[in-house]
C-alpha cells in the first residue's frame, strides 16, 4: 500500500483544514481543562467562578495554552518549509543554527541580569531574539553567493553555526552561579510558563505574518519539488522564493525561541506525520501542519505541567519522549510501504 497524492481541490482543502482545526480545537479545550489546580469550567462560563479560579484560568492557563498553540503551529509549518527548501526530510527549524543563537543570547542575558528579576525576563526575551537574528544573518551570509542561496551550503552553515553558539553557551554555563546554571538548564531544555504580555505580542505579530507568507507561496513550493530548472521554466523565481521563505520562517522560529527556548521534534515529526495522512501538496500540508503542530504542543505542555505536579517538566522533554519514537515508527512504516510497493 502506498500513499497516493490527491489534487488539492477547494473541497479537499476545506475538508482537510476543517478536520485539522477540529483536532486543534479539541486539544486546546482539553489543555484548558487540564492543570495541577482544578478549575470549574462551567462556573467560568457562567461567570460564577471564584477570584482564584478566574486568576488561574485567565491570567495563567489561557495565555500559556495560547502561547503553546502559536509556538507549536509555527515550528511545524517552519519544518514543512525547511524540508521543502533544503530537499532534506531531516531538516527542521533548529537545524539551521537558530536554537544555538537564541539559546546563547538568552543564557547571556540570564548571566548578566539574573533569572528572576523582571528586567531579566525582558532582557532574556530580547537577547534570545537578537541571538536568533544574528544566527540568521550569519548563516544567510555564508550560504549566499552571487545573490543565490545554495541549500547544501545553507544546511552545513547552520550546523556549524549551531555548534559555535552551543560552545559559547557551554562556556557561559560553566562560568555561571549554581542558581543561574539551574535557570540555564531549564531554558535549554525548552519550556513554557505563563507568558508576559510582551512575549505574547511577539508571537501574535510574528506567527501570523510567517504563516501568511508560507500559505501565499505554497503553490510555488509545489513547483520547487520537481527541480529548480523546471520551477524556473514554470515561472518561479527560485532565488527570490528561497530568500523570502527562509527569512520569513527564520524570523518566525526566532520569535518562538525567544519565548520558549529550543523545543525539538515539533518541526521534524509533525510535518512527516501530516504528510503521511494528507499527502505532499503544500497547499494542504502547510495549514494542516500548523493546526496539528499547535495541537501537539498544547497537549505536550499539558502533560509537562501535570504529570509530576506540583513540579513541572520542561516541555522539550515531553516532545522528545513522544516525538522521537513516534518519528522512528512513522519512518519504519513508510519504509515498509515502499518495500511492499517495490
What's the rounded Cα separation, in Å, for the pair 147 and 141? 10
According to the model, what pLDDT value does residue 118 have? 44
Lowest mean pLDDT among 65-74, 115-124, 135-144, 301-310: 115-124
115 near 188, Cβ under 8 Å?
no
> Torsions phi, psi of 91, nearest 5?
-70, 140
Rounded to 5°, angle at Cα 90 from 294 and 342: 110
Query: Average pLDDT for residues 202-221, to the nearest whole number?
Result: 93
Between residues 148 and 199, the one the model is more confident about: 199
According to the model, what pLDDT value does residue 26 have? 97
- 284: pLDDT strictly greater than 90: yes
What's the rounded Cα separation, in Å, for the pair 321 and 296? 13
Between residues 337 and 74, the one the model is more confident about: 74
According to the model, what pLDDT value does residue 311 have? 85
- 239: pLDDT strictly greater than 60: yes
262 near 96, Cβ under 8 Å?
no
According to the model, what pLDDT value does residue 211 have? 95
- pLDDT-based confidence at residue 207 (cuts at 50, 70, 90): very high
Which pLDDT tens digit goes with each residue over 137-155?
888 888 877 666 677 788 8
- pLDDT-based confidence at residue 1 (cuts at 50, 70, 90): very low
H or E stretch covering 145: strand 144-145
Q: 148 in helix, strand or coil? A: strand
Which pLDDT tens digit goes with each residue over 61-116?
999 999 999 999 999 999 999 888 888 787 888 777 888 888 888 888 878 876 55
> Torsions phi, psi of 148, nearest 5?
-105, 140
Q: 149 in helix, strand or coil? A: strand
Q: Are strands 144-145 and 148-149 parallel, antiparallel or unpaired?
A: antiparallel
According to the model, what pLDDT value does residue 5 have? 54
- For 39, how many CA atoms within 13 A lie in the half-sphere containing its CB? 27
72 near 266, Cβ under 8 Å?
yes
Which pLDDT tens digit goes with each residue over 160-195?
888 899 899 889 888 888 888 877 887 788 888 767
- 328: pLDDT strictly greater than 60: yes
330 near 268, Cβ under 8 Å?
no
Q: 236 in helix, strand or coil? A: coil
263 near 315, Cβ under 8 Å?
yes
Q: DSSP class of residue 14?
A: H
Mean pLDDT (the chain, rounded): 84
Which span out of 55-64, 133-142, 247-256 was modeled with the highest average pLDDT? 55-64
According to the model, what pLDDT value does residue 334 have? 62
Query: Average pLDDT for residues 122-137, to the nearest whole number?
Result: 80
According to the model, what pLDDT value does residue 186 have? 75
DSSP per-residue string spanning 263-328: --SHHHHHHHHHHHHH-S-HHHHHHHHHHHHHHHHHHHHHHHHHTTTTS---HHHHHHHHHHHHHH
- For 32, how many CA atoms within 13 A lie in the half-sphere containing its CB? 20
Rounded to 5°, angle at Cα 297 from 270 and 172: 100
102 near 128, Cβ under 8 Å?
yes
- 35: pLDDT strictly greater than 80: yes
Q: What is the CATH number of domain 10-341?
A: 1.10.3470.10
- Express as a percent the part of the chain with pLDDT over 70: 91
- 2: pLDDT strictly greater than 70: no
Tell me: cis bond preceding 27? Omega within 30 of 0 counts: no
pTM of the entire predicted model: 0.88
According to the model, what pLDDT value does residue 215 have? 94
Amino acid at each position: 500500500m502506498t500513499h497516493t497524492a490527491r489534487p488539492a481541490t477547494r473541497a479537499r482543502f476545506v475538508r482537510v483544514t476543517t478536520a485539522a482545526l477540529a483536532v486543534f480545537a479539541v486539544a486546546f479545550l482539553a489543555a484548558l481543562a487540564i492543570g495541577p489546580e482544578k478549575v470549574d469550567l462551567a462556573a467560568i462560563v457562567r461567570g460564577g467562578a471564584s477570584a482564584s479560579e478566574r486568576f488561574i484560568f485567565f491570567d495563567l492557563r489561557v495565555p500559556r495554552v495560547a502561547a503553546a498553540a502559536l509556538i507549536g503551529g509555527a515550528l511545524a509549518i517552519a519544518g514543512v518549509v525547511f524540508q521543502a527548501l533544503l530537499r532534506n526530510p531531516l531538516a527542521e527549524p533548529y537545524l539551521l543554527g537558530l536554537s544555538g543563537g537564541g539559546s546563547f543570547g538568552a543564557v547571556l542575558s540570564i548571566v548578566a541580569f539574573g533569572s528572576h528579576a523582571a528586567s531579566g525576563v525582558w532582557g532574556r526575551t530580547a537577547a534570545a531574539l537578537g541571538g536568533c537574528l544574528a544566527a540568521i544573518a550569519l548563516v544567510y551570509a555564508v550560504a549566499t553567493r552571487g545573490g543565490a542561496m545554495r541549500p547544501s551550503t545553507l544546511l552545513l552553515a547552520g550546523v556549524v553555526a549551531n555548534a559555535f553558539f552551543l560552545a559559547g553557551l557551554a562556556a557561559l554555563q560553566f562560568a555561571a552561579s549554581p542558581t543561574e546554571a539551574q535557570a540555564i538548564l531549564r531554558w535549554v531544555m525548552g519550556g513554557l510558563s505563563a507568558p508576559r504580555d510582551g512575549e505574547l505580542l511577539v508571537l501574535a505579530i510574528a506567527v501570523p505574518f510567517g504563516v501568511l507568507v508560507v500559505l501565499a507561496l505554497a503553490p510555488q513550493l509545489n513547483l520547487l519539488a520537481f527541480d529548480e530548472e523546471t520551477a524556473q521554466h514554470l515561472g518561479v523565481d527560485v532565488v527570490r522564493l528561497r530568500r523570502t521563505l527562509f527569512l520569513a520562517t527564520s524570523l518566525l522560529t526566532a520569535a518562538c525561541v525567544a519565548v520558549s527556548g529550543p523545543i525539538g521534534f515539533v518541526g521534524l515529526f509533525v510535518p512527516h506525520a501530516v504528510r503521511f495522512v494528507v499527502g505532499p501538496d503544500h497547499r494542504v500540508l502547510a495549514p494542516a501542519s500548523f493546526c496539528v503542530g499547535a495541537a501537539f504542543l498544547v497537549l505536550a505542555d499539558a502533560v509537562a505541567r501535570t504529570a509530576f505536579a506540583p513540579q513541572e517538566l520542561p516541555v522539550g522533554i515531553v516532545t522528545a519522549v513522544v516525538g522521537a519514537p513516534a518519528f522512528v515508527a512513522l519512518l519504519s512504516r513508510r519504509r515498509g510501504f515502499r518495500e511492499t510497493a517495490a
